[in-house]
Structure 1
């Protein structure tokens, strides 16, 4: 009799930074039965529902100090723990994989109350509050940045394995960009994360005329909430609220101006794309600055703080980095490739930060944990 495939619950919710790594790991686990745990009305209802059976529980995070709001959040967390516990027992899941965020708390506590293994992946250089609070309860915490372990309790069992990316980022050869941009034309990509970045958009539109005059092409991903996203026009300027083929776009880009979310940085590393990073200043505990500092210290990126950036400075930094690409495009016979080009050096440093086998590494570890699950020896029975 053939054994049933392992049954795994993935708890990932909210943003692309939580969802895309989880989806990348799930794609490596075709020998497992996977169901998903999320929160109503979040991004997972769009990205997950047609791939995996989706369960949702209402849960929010603690904001600010203690008060009536905190008590409501705590009560919601307790209710969610019991809901997830019921789901795990009735579905006879053998373990949980989570990428942090609000949904991770009830998933971790419910699973551990049943003795089930939990693998938590943390992609940020500064682990989030949920990871710091609940990491001692996990069987293992896989870190996207090795130095993040210094911020976790000593009881947490940590390993380093990078952050997974979507399979198309690892395709050989890389996917081809379908946007109508000439081959070898200097290409600058601007992106503000899955939600866009209005302040970054405004800054870039002020700088764009000089860059375009110098001979660049610009692909500007504005997000959906920028009311001025259609206010600037040029034949070599492509403005889109979002672009689904990010692997092709970043493989083609010569330089990116970007926020410093962990998922975005992982994609830049995999595609060896040099960058100017402007962290989102209101990110929880300023964690994007911690992420960006890792890249800047390694020589893979320039780091600029949003409240300190002036358009003239950003204009000159971009022109300095893309000078060689522009000259080679305009006069290809007079400007040969040079390994001392700062952009070439940044690309090499960016490549050194890549961990292309991250999804496979995490999938293999999950298989080991599921094989050790108490459900396999019959010690976990169904019940309330």
Structure 2
């Protein structure tokens, strides 16, 4: 069985495909996998690290209003379609799986023109433009939330599966995760990240919060993923405050541009501070972790705030909107929760109840079913 995954740009569009691919290859069947992404996205680092082949095409997103860039974007889209055609004809997939990002458009459309079964997976409650368009052509739309069904062209083809969660995220233990990161499992641990590309707003709040957190809870361990673009600035600011020396810093403080072993960081954590992207929330709830969520204000149709409010209303998270975010407010929220172990445990229970650990298995069944009824390229 040959499976082609199309998706990229951010971790939220890459990890669902990797999770499904891992489960397929572990199922005992003879499976060949190829990922297709853009030339500049995070997939160029993440996919090869996970042991999968990656082919790339030229693609750029369409702007919502016509500008001088529109013609260039159209030309690039046509070029991307020709590149997708060459890749598909060479690989001859039995099924194509789109997991989000602009790259999905040409790859999935070419696959359908060649009568190859295709599935798209939508991670958010409010579907993106690309997936809304593709939903009219694909065989199956796998949705994370039931409320997103009404946005698709053919609701009868939508299956609500949830977001796939990597088995390694579910299997990791606190002892193992702490050991991997060089942390003490007996000490409280805070995990902070702003999505796969980082968040300058969260980073700035953490720079201000660091001394307040360590003063209020001296044994607190902090794992902070900054994103690559802001890493040097954050390290410089912390160094100026004698909190970081460019290496691991004070014992129990880890500042890193990217966490390739997020499963260990999640397993070691007592509390998470993060954006409210769909994949982050899926992994947080699968682990049953309490969270302080800071939605990305520029996310399309405020889907991150909707994600965050869903957890907040269930008692699994607290929400801080970015205009209200600063070091003192963040430190106060973190310390308030970590000091109240009963409240933290209750939030963890509520978070666990929202998790969908079975999502990966359901998606694997759908992919296999489509591969069996391939129309032929």
Under a length normalisation based on structure 1, what TM-score does the superposition of the two structures give? 0.86
- Relative to structure 1, is the Cα distance of residues 316 and 48 closer, same or farther in structure 2, using a 3 angstrom cutoff? closer
Q: Structure 1 residue 224 and structure 2 residue 228: aligned?
A: yes
Structure 2 residue 33 is the aligned partner of structure 1 residue 38: no
Pick aligned residue for 2:300 from 284, 288, 293: 284
Q: CA deviation at 1:281?
A: 2.0
Distance 2:156 2:76 in 1: 25
Aligned residue number for residue 262 of structure 2: 246
Specify the SS of the correspondent of 1:137.
coil
Separation in 1, partners of 2:69, 2:265: 43
Q: What are the Cα deviations for residues 93-144 of structure 1, in whole angstroms up to 9, with x where unaligned?
A: 2220110110111112111112211110111122111111221111111112
Residue 346 of structure 1 is matched in structure 2 by 347
Query: Are 2:135 and 2:154, in contact at CA under 8 Å, matched by a contact in 1?
Result: no
Q: Which runs of 4+ in 1 moved over 6 A?
A: none
Q: Quote the residue 2:77 is aligned against.
A: 77
Tell me what 1:365 maps to: 366
Mean alpha-carbon deviation: is it higher for 170-179 or for 155-164? 170-179
CA distance in 2, matches of 1:276, 1:39: 32
SS at 1:46's partner residue? helix
Query: Displacement of 1:295 after TM fit?
Result: 1.5
| Secondary structure of the structure 1 residue equivalent to 2:303 | helix
**Equivalence map 1:326-345=2 (5 Å):** 341-345=342-346
Deviates more, 1:230-239 or 1:362-371: 230-239
Shift of 1:224: 2.0
Shift of 1:320: 1.8
Equivalents in 2 of 1:354, 1:201: separation in Å? 27
Q: Which residue of 2 aligns with 1:126?
A: 126
Q: Distance in 2 between matches of 1:66 and 1:238?
A: 45
Pair 1:136-2:103 in alignment: no
What is aligned with 1:88?
88
- The Cα RMSD (Å) is 2.0
Instruction: Kindly state the Cα deviation for residue 172 of structure 1 after the two structures are TM-superposed.
Output: 6.2
Equivalent residue number for residue 186 of structure 2 = 184
Once residues 100 and 10 of structure 1 are traced to their aligned partners in structure 2, the CA distance between those partners, rounded to angstroms, is 10
Partner of 1:150: 150
Q: Distance in 2 between matches of 1:90 and 1:191?
A: 39
TM-score where L is the length of structure 2: 0.88
* Displacement of 1:352: 1.2
The alpha-carbon distance between structure 1 residues 161 and 285, as it changes in their structure 2 partners (threshold 3 A), is same
Equivalent pair of 2:290/2:351 in contact (CA under 8 Å): yes
CA distance in 2, matches of 1:88, 1:220: 40
Change (3 A) 1:10 1:180: closer
Contact 2:204 2:327 in 1 (8 A): no
- CA 1:162–1:81: 2 relative to 1, 3 Å: same
Distance 1:106 1:245, change over 3 A: same
In structure 1, distance between residues paired with 2:125 and 2:331: 29
Deviation at 1:310, TM superposition (A): 4.0
Q: How does 1:163-312 map to 2 (within 5 A)?
A: 163-171=163-171, 173=173, 175-177=176-178, 178-215=180-217, 216-226=220-230, 227-230=232-235, 231-232=237-238, 233=243, 234-312=250-328
Tell me the CA shift for residue 48 of structure 1.
Answer: 2.3
Q: CA deviation at 1:276?
A: 0.5
Does residue 15 of the first structure (1) align with residue 10 of the second (2)?
Answer: yes
Note the alpha carbon deviations across 1:312-370, whole angstroms, 9 max, x for none. 33332222211134xxxxxxxxxxxxxxx221111111111211122222111111101
Q: Which moved more, 1:129-138 or 1:177-186?
A: 177-186
Looking at structure 2, the residues matched to 298 and 140 of structure 1 have their Cα atoms a distance apart, in angstroms, of: 30
Report if the CA contact (8 A) 1:135-1:156 is conserved.
no
Q: Which moved more, 1:348-357 or 1:288-297?
A: 288-297
Q: Deviations over 1:60-112 (max 9, x none)?
A: 11124013322322232233223323432343222201101101111121111
Tell me whether 1:66 sits opposite 2:72 in the alignment.
Answer: no
Which is richer in helix?
2
> Would the aligned equivalents of 1:256 and 1:275 in 2 still touch at CA under 8 Å?
yes
Contact 2:317 2:347 in 1 (8 A): yes
What CA deviation, in whole Å up to 9, does each residue of 1:128-169 have, x standing for no partner? Answer: 111112211111111122222233334562111111123311
Measured in 2, the distance between the counterparts of 1:103 and 1:62 equals 12
